[in-house]
Amino acid sequence: MSHSIRQIRDNTTRARHLMQRSRQQKFAVGAFNVDNQETLIAVARAAQKLNSPVLVEVSDGEVEALGLENVRDMVDNYKTEYGVEMYINLDHSPTVENCKRAIDAGYEFIHIDISQANHDATEEEIIAKTKEVVEYAKFTGALVESEPHYFGGSSNLHEEKIDYEEIKKTFSTPDGTKRFVDATGIDTFAAAVGNLHGKYPVPKELDLELLSKIREAIGCQISLHGGSGTPLHFFENAARIGVSKININSDMRYVFRTTLEKVLADNPKEYAVVKLMPAVFEAVQSVVEEKINAFGSANKAVT
């Protein structure tokens, strides 16, 4: 069901208030990717149990699988059913056109990532297209997120170790961050301080000193992508520093698949898959709850 412009603006206003609260009260909001209904239910149940605000996010491939409007409807339905504070984030959208479609559909958070489709995109091109989305989003009030270069990794289980000497070459800098934020007018800056997409055989390490300097350099919100596989104390400190949004995907996908594989192996004669899903729900929900507690967002929902 399509939202009226008044409904959309009411939702984006609440989303902006949430980001303000996160800064004032020193917590971060979890942005959890979904590519199926079961994962969405697990996120909603975790949000209800811990009274936490959450973002449900979908990348380009997840939008293609589920449908842009369908995601809007499903989130609205479960938000009402579970009585939770829940918003939608379009994650790493590679085109201006797709961002505009999501804004029109009432998505409260929009991440424009030109370098996702073109890793060699120039900063000038990224700035120009980001500004176009920022201007378009003013009609609904949607919050726009971006970064000036490609963010590495992928949301899979990686076998290679992390080459931090190579990754450090792509770290955000306070001066560069400020220039980009000032040039684009974005609401949220996606910082690179050791966070990396995917789940690796070694824990990730965040440069919290650099993160603090970036926080001091800009007034807008800060997000951390690639949160999976990160020791929880980094999240606790990042929230205190002033990070407002942390993305989680691979940790959820990993536990979804491994739990489902076990349930299928334990029940070889059961063909009603819906009967096998409760254990999967619970496993994914546990991951979401763990992150919510680390982010400090439990009991921060306003419904």
| Residue whose structure tokens are 């306070």 | 174
20-53 confidence digits (pLDDT tens): 999 999 999 999 999 999 999 999 999 999 999 9
Q: Is residue 118 part of a domain?
A: yes
Domains identified in the chain, total number: 1
Which CATH number goes with the domain that contains 167?
Answer: 3.20.20.70
How far is 251 from 286, CA to CA, in rounded Å? Answer: 11
Q: Is residue 300 part of a domain?
A: no
User: Is 153 a residue whose pLDDT tops 60?
Assistant: no
45-103 confidence digits (pLDDT tens): 999 999 999 999 999 999 999 999 999 999 999 999 999 999 999 999 999 999 999 99
Residue closest to 94 by CA, chosen among 114, 80, 108, 79 = 114
What does each C-alpha distance from 134 to 88, 110, 120, 193 come to in angstroms?
Answer: 17, 9, 22, 24
User: Is 158 a residue whose pLDDT tops 80?
Assistant: no
How far is 90 from 73, CA to CA, in rounded Å? Answer: 14
What phi and psi, each to the nearest 5 degrees, are found at residue 247?
Answer: -95, 135
Model confidence at 297, pLDDT cuts 50, 70, 90, reads very high
Find out whether 220 and 189 touch, Cβ atoms under 8 Å.
yes
Q: Is residue 74 part of a domain?
A: yes
Q: What is the mean pLDDT of the chain?
A: 93
How far is 200 from 81, CA to CA, in rounded Å? Answer: 36
Instruction: Kindly state the average pLDDT of the residues 219-232.
Output: 92
How far is 71 from 32, CA to CA, in rounded Å? Answer: 13
Q: Is residue 302 part of a domain?
A: no
Domain that holds residue 113: 5-295
DSSP letter assigned to residue 4 = P
How far is 196 from 148, CA to CA, in rounded Å? Answer: 16
CB count in 10 Å sphere of residue 68: 17
Can you list the pairs that 62-65 forms with residues at least 24 positions away whose Cβ atoms lie under 8 Å?
62/33, 62/34, 62/35, 62/91, 63/90, 63/98, 63/102, 65/35
User: What does the pLDDT read at residue 152?
Assistant: 58
User: What does the pLDDT read at residue 79?
Assistant: 98
What phi and psi, each to the nearest 5 degrees, are found at residue 186?
Answer: -70, 160
User: What does the pLDDT read at residue 266?
Assistant: 97
Q: Is residue 303 part of a domain?
A: no
How far is 27 from 243, CA to CA, in rounded Å? Answer: 8
Max Cα distance, the chain (Å) = 60
- First CA to last CA across the chain, in angstroms? 21
User: What does the pLDDT read at residue 194?
Assistant: 84
136-145 confidence digits (pLDDT tens): 999 999 999 9
CB count in 10 Å sphere of residue 240: 14
Report the catalytic residues: 91
How far is 48 from 301, CA to CA, in rounded Å? Answer: 9
User: Is 154 a residue whose pLDDT tops 60?
Assistant: no
